């Protein structure tokens, strides 16, 4: 099978590989997530494992982690000439994911392109109608669906027999029957050997190799702003704690991975299973570090076994505090008591576990005063690390249509929790950005001395390195600079709105 493509005056001939699927990450960079390191595309590792079961030749190309742009991606496509190219996208990366698949089609027009992830799952009609270069969208949990789709396509069958996909047929978007979630997560094959492990490191821990592990999937809470509970339909499934511990040992021994991000939306939901997982990891006695996110209420629940967290290797826990307004939390169905939160950070401090708190600003009814209260709450709670994000209405959220009057950009690249998408009643987007920059500046100016005067420990060294990385980021410096440069215009806007 030969493909001839004319590019300028140069003809390029390359043999297509009818038995290969190439998984590729789009070259999207928000400027925040990558400050502390490079993370493995865990979802693609699972999908690649599923694709292998169809006897296809499988490759993973993590263009994002490698820092590659479209010229490098084009070169990789020309070298691979795969029959299938697959990618995954969140809202912020959807434009680049589609552009990546368009590039694959440009190089080899008969390439079958497949796209999955949370944004395509809910916005499949918009994606398929916006680009003829996306052939199939995998909806929801992808491993079983992808395997079935590839088997049908390889056999020349009818894709309408595959549950859980969307595609075009005769100019019409077809969505097949929904596919139920897998009953068990313990038998999922992961193609660990296809990852370029040298690309993944935690910059705050010198000499480390960064990995990720999933111990459960889903969340059954009702937070209105969260996309995960909608994606997983408020379900929750967990893996066998012993198999999780075995996987940690395997990755440590085989690929020298010593830092793991626990990617679960809600790892600590079932306290008996969670303690069994901690015990299983402790029993393996391997020198690894674990980073995770959970709910503050579970730390209070587990206050008597937090020592097990630390002994199992958990050195970093992140929480979503969101706002200082309890009524706003209640409206978001966050099920969180602000008064109880401070004790959580005290507990983690006692056990030398790094705490991170994320706060959200820019709600429709936000004011300079309400943002000020949120920033003061951050200082009052005194987490080791604080992040200030912008309230971002996902285009598939139930409340999206209600929020449309406040939305000021429809460029999905800005739906990254960093750039303001929504303009509050009484503030401009510039004011929101300036307030965020001020929040970062005030919080970390007060923390640096605290870090420097800590007793010598792993935690102190970690925090000092994180601060150095944060302050050394050109993206962060640009944002903080915007805060400084925008102060006078933002103040003028505040005065104007006040008079109005």
pLDDT of 246-264, one tens digit each?
999 999 999 999 999 999 9
Least confident of 101-105, 106-110, 305-309, 424-428: 424-428
Which residue has better confidence, 496 or 304? Answer: 304
- Do residues 276 and 322 share a domain? yes
Domain boundary residue among 142, 175, 208? Answer: 175
Tokens of 77: 């496509």
Q: Please check whether residue 463 is in contact with residue 451, taking contact to mean a CB–CB distance below 8 angstroms.
A: yes
Which residue has better confidence, 16 or 20? Answer: 20
- Do residues 125 and 213 share a domain? no
Which residues are CB-contacts of 42 (< 8 A; sequence separation ≥ 6)? 190, 212, 213, 214, 263
Confidence of residue 34 (pLDDT cuts 50, 70, 90): confident
Q: Is residue 197 part of a domain?
A: yes
Mean per-residue pLDDT for 160-189? 94
Domain boundary residue among 175, 202, 237? Answer: 175
**Could you tell me the pTM of the whole model?**
0.88
Phi-psi region at 454: left, alpha or beta (left = phi > 0; alpha = psi -120 to 50):
beta
Give which of 31, 37, 28 is closest to 316, Cα–Cα: 37
pLDDT of 199-231, one tens digit each?
999 999 999 999 999 999 887 766 555 566 667
Tokens of 44: 């693609």
Cβ neighbourhood burial of 410 (10 Å; 0-12, 13-18, 19+): exposed
Phi-psi region at 60: left, alpha or beta (left = phi > 0; alpha = psi -120 to 50):
beta
- The structure tokens 């410096």 sit at 477
Confidence of residue 327 (pLDDT cuts 50, 70, 90): low
- Do residues 126 and 248 share a domain? no
Mean per-residue pLDDT for 309-320? 94
Q: Is residue 97 part of a domain?
A: yes
Q: Is residue 24 part of a domain?
A: yes
- Do residues 204 and 171 share a domain? no
What does the alpha-carbon distance between residue 385 and residue 443 come to, in Å, rounded to a whole number? Answer: 9
Q: Is residue 351 part of a domain?
A: yes
Q: Is residue 182 part of a domain?
A: no
Mean per-residue pLDDT for 68-72? 97
Q: Is residue 39 part of a domain?
A: yes
- Do residues 427 and 468 share a domain? yes
- The structure tokens 């015990």 sit at 279
List the beta bridge partners of residue 166. Answer: 137, 175
Q: Is the pLDDT of residue 85 over 90?
A: yes
What does the alpha-carbon distance between residue 257 and residue 201 come to, in Å, rounded to a whole number? Answer: 9
- Do residues 335 and 455 share a domain? yes
- Do residues 145 and 228 share a domain? no
Confidence of residue 308 (pLDDT cuts 50, 70, 90): very high
- What's the CATH code of the domain at 377? 3.80.30.20
Q: Is the pLDDT of residue 11 over 50?
A: no
- Do residues 250 and 158 share a domain? no
Q: Please check whether residue 295 is in contact with residue 266, taking contact to mean a CB–CB distance below 8 angstroms.
A: yes
Q: Is the pLDDT of residue 274 over 70?
A: yes
- Do residues 285 and 201 share a domain? yes
User: DSSP characters for 453-488?
Assistant: TSPSSHHHHHHHHHHHHHHT-HHHHHHHHHHHHTHH
Which residues are CB-contacts of 134 (< 8 A; sequence separation ≥ 6)? 98, 101, 113, 115, 127, 128
Give which of 147, 150, 155, 58 is closest to 113, Cα–Cα: 150
pLDDT at 482: 61
pLDDT of 417-452, one tens digit each?
889 999 999 999 999 988 888 888 888 888 888 888
Q: Dihedral, CA atoms, 181, 186, 187, 190, nearest 10 degrees?
A: 100
Cβ neighbourhood burial of 199 (10 Å; 0-12, 13-18, 19+): middle
pLDDT at 8: 33
Q: Is the pLDDT of residue 142 over 80?
A: yes
Which residue has better confidence, 339 or 409? Answer: 409
pLDDT at 360: 86
pLDDT at 52: 95
What does the alpha-carbon distance between residue 20 and residue 154 come to, in Å, rounded to a whole number? Answer: 11
Average pLDDT value for the chain: 87
Which residues are CB-contacts of 207 (< 8 A; sequence separation ≥ 6)? none
Which residues are CB-contacts of 174 (< 8 A; sequence separation ≥ 6)? 160, 166, 167, 168
Element (H, E) at 319: strand 314-322
What does the alpha-carbon distance between residue 192 and residue 212 come to, in Å, rounded to a whole number? Answer: 11
Domain of 403? 192-499
pLDDT of 110-140, one tens digit each?
999 999 999 999 999 999 999 999 999 999 9
Q: Is the pLDDT of residue 2 over 50?
A: no
Q: Is residue 185 part of a domain?
A: no
- Do residues 231 and 329 share a domain? yes
What does the alpha-carbon distance between residue 62 and residue 266 come to, in Å, rounded to a whole number? Answer: 26
Angle (nearest 5°) at CA 266 between 265 and 268: 150
Domain boundary residue among 109, 143, 175? Answer: 175
- What's the CATH code of the domain at 66? 3.40.50.2300
Q: Please check whether residue 166 is in contact with residue 117, taking contact to mean a CB–CB distance below 8 angstroms.
A: no
What does the alpha-carbon distance between residue 280 and residue 275 come to, in Å, rounded to a whole number? Answer: 9
Share of the chain above pLDDT 90, in %: 60
Q: Is residue 59 part of a domain?
A: yes
Angle (nearest 5°) at CA 255 between 249 and 260: 60
Least confident of 60-64, 128-132, 327-331: 327-331
DSSP-derived secondary structure letter, 202: B
Q: Is the pLDDT of residue 5 over 90?
A: no
pLDDT at 273: 96
- Do residues 109 and 222 share a domain? no
Tokens of 166: 């969307």
Q: Is the pLDDT of residue 322 over 70?
A: no
pLDDT at 483: 58
pLDDT at 207: 92
What does the alpha-carbon distance between residue 190 and residue 432 come to, in Å, rounded to a whole number? Answer: 42
- Do residues 149 and 99 share a domain? yes
Q: How many domains does the chain have?
A: 2
Confidence of residue 487 (pLDDT cuts 50, 70, 90): low
Q: Please check whether residue 424 is in contact with residue 363, taking contact to mean a CB–CB distance below 8 angstroms.
A: yes
Phi-psi region at 39: left, alpha or beta (left = phi > 0; alpha = psi -120 to 50):
beta
């Amino acid at each position: 099978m030969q493909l001839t493509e004319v590019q300028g005056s140069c003809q390029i001939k390359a043999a297509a590989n009818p038995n290969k699927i190439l998984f590729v990450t789009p070259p999207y960079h928000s400027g925040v997530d990558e400050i502390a390191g490079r993370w493995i595309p865990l979802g693609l590792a699972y999908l690649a494992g599923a694709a292998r079961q169809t006897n296809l030749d499988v490759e993973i190309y993590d263009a994002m982690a490698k820092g590659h742009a479209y010229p490098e991606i084009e070169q990789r496509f020309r070298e691979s000439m795969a029959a299938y190219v697959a990618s995954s996208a969140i809202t912020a990366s959807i434009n680049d994911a589609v552009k990546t698949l368009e590039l694959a089609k440009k190089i080899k027009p008969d390439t079958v392109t497949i796209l999955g992830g949370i944004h395509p799952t809910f916005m499949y009609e918009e994606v398929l109608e916006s680009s003829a270069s996306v052939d199939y969208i995998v909806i929801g949990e992808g491993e079983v669906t992808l395997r079935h789709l590839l088997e049908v396509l390889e056999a020349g069958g009818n894709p309408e027999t595959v549950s859980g996909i969307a595609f075009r047929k005769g100019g019409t978007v077809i969505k097949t029957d929904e596919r139920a979630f897998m009953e068990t997560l313990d038998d999922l094959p992961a193609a660990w050997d296809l990852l370029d492990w040298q690309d993944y490191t935690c910059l705050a821990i010198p000499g480390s190799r960064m990995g990720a592990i999933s111990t459960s999937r889903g969340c059954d809470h009702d937070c209105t702003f969260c996309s995960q509970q909608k994606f997983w339909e408020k379900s929750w499934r967990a893996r066998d704690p012993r198999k999780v511990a075995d996987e940690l040992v395997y990755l440590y021994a085989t690929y020298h991975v010593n830092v793991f991000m626990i990617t679960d939306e809600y790892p600590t939901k079932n306290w008996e299973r969670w303690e069994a997982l901690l015990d299983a990891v402790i029993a393996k006695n391997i020198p690894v570090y674990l980073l995770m996110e959970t709910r503050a209420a579970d730390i209070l629940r587990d206050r008597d076994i937090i020592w097990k967290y630390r002994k199992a290797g958990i050195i970093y826990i992140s929480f979503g505090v969101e706002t200082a307004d309890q009524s706003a939390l209640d409206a978001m169905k966050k099920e969180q008591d602000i008064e109880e939160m401070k004790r959580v950070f005290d507990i983690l401090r006692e056990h030398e576990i790094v705490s991170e708190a994320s706060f959200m600003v820019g709600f429709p009814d936000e004011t300079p005063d309400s943002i000020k209260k949120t920033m003061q709450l951050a200082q009052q709670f005194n987490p080791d690390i604080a992040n200030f994000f912008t309230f971002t209405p996902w285009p598939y959220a139930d409340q999206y249509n209600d929020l449309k009057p406040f939305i000021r950009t429809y460029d999905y690249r800005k739906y990254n929790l960093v750039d303001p998408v929504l303009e509050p009643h009484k503030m401009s987007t510039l004011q929101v950005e300036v307030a965020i920059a001020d929040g970062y500046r005030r919080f970390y100016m007060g923390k640096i001395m605290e870090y420097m005067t800590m007793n010598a420990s792993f935690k102190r060294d970690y925090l000092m390195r994180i601060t150095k990385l944060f302050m050394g980021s050109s993206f962060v410096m640009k944002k903080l600079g915007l805060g400084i440069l925008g102060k006078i215009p933002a103040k003028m806007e505040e005065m104007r709105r006040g008079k109005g």
